[in-house]
Amino acid sequence: MRYQLRQPRRWYGTLRRATAARAVQGSNSIEGYHASVEDVAAVLDDEEPLDADTETRRAIAGYRDAMTYVLQLASSEPPRTLDASLLLSLHFMMIKHDLAKNPGSWRPGGVWVEDADGRVTYQAPPRDGLEGLVDEMLGQLADGSGVSLVDAAMAHLNLALIHPFSDGNGRMARCVQSFVLARDGLLAPEFLSIEEYLGRNTSDYYGVLTEVAAGSWSPQHSARPWLTFCLTAHYRQAQTVLRRIDEAAALWDRCDALVRRHGLPERSIGVLCDAARGWRIRRSLYVKAVRSSVGDEITDDSATRDLRALSAAGLLDPRGEKRGRTYLATPQLRAAWEEIRNHRPTPVVVDPYELAQLKLPGLG
């Protein structure tokens, strides 16, 4: 993946935007906040989603703020280390829309996790030793193992099991995992994140956490099942991203050909890629999508002219009036994406540990 993404290419901006949206969508869906990738991308761009309700929008916006801060800190020189004050700051950004959940503060008392039937499945450690456990976790993270994927997974596990907050512990644990990956600079964290995978495999995610937690705070238990799960998730998510890299390049080329054929602005290619995938386009989102895909800053008037030209060329279909107007892909544009999807190989679920043993006999 690093070879494919070692330098931004023409389709990099649209792929990165969609990948970030899927990661945020996955993490929030685990907590019951469901929104389309299109609506999540809108919130990430500070736009109103078309379908998501107010509570979901606020949850996504909070997670966006925390992750944006994580990315800013990770790119600083020297990179910011994770400490207790940063944890509390990230939690406030994430949960600030609900003051009843004590955003930016440690939980005031005991806390536990219940299943759908109200049975307690995990009892977190007592409140009186909370700060010490957090400090120990941060100290272990600072020492590190030298393997970023392992350090990030252990930070996720330890924070989730310490359960230091009244609410938002899962989102914070996933955010911290992304922080470690971003801090170590392997790739843009959007492409390394396993949050989308966790959202698609929530039952397995909860299952392995329950297995390792064993009902109550038990730090003597082995974390091997959790590490196996996380490394498998990274492997499988990487396969998904590699497929999307190829598809993004192919879709960009097809939209590029359509733009050239109709004499349209080159800056509209990324927006056409979004529309071909089924996203609804608005003028304000067009301006931001152009910025993220090609780096151009355009005015609202320029966006309006572009959208009219795309509609006149038979690539976008306008719906609604005035501020409520959106644009959908026409059959001609949708056909470009459908052709790519029709050539998508049948997915094969691979266990990387079995694969490693097949390739390296004797590896146990």
Q: Choosing from 91, 156, 163, 234, which is the catalytic residue?
A: 163
Amino acid in the structure at residue 58: R
Amino acid at 347: P
Instruction: Say which DSSP state 318 is in.
Output: E
Q: Is there a catalytic annotation at residue 34? A: no
Residue 217 near residue 193 (C-beta atoms within 8 A): no
What is the signed CA dihedral for 222, 228, 234, 236, rounded to 10 degrees?
-150
174 is annotated as contributing to ligand binding: yes
Task: Find out whether 172 is annotated in a ligand binding site.
Answer: yes
Is there a binding annotation on residue 205?
A: yes
Residue 69 CA to residue 176 CA, distance in Å, equals 12
Structure-token pair, residue 58: 């606020």
Q: Report whether 173 belongs to an annotated binding site.
A: yes
Q: What six digits make up the tokens of 159?
A: 């924070």
> Does the annotation flag 144 for ligand binding?
no
Q: Is 13 assigned a ligand-binding role in the annotation?
A: no
Checking DSSP bridges between strand 120-123 and strand 112-114, what pairing results, if any?
antiparallel
Residue 206 assigned ligand-binding role = yes
Q: By the 8 A CB rule, do 166 and 101 touch?
A: yes
169 is in an annotated binding site: yes
The tokens for 6 are: 């070692």
Catalytic site positions: 163
User: Binding site for ATP, residues?
Assistant: 167-174, 205-206
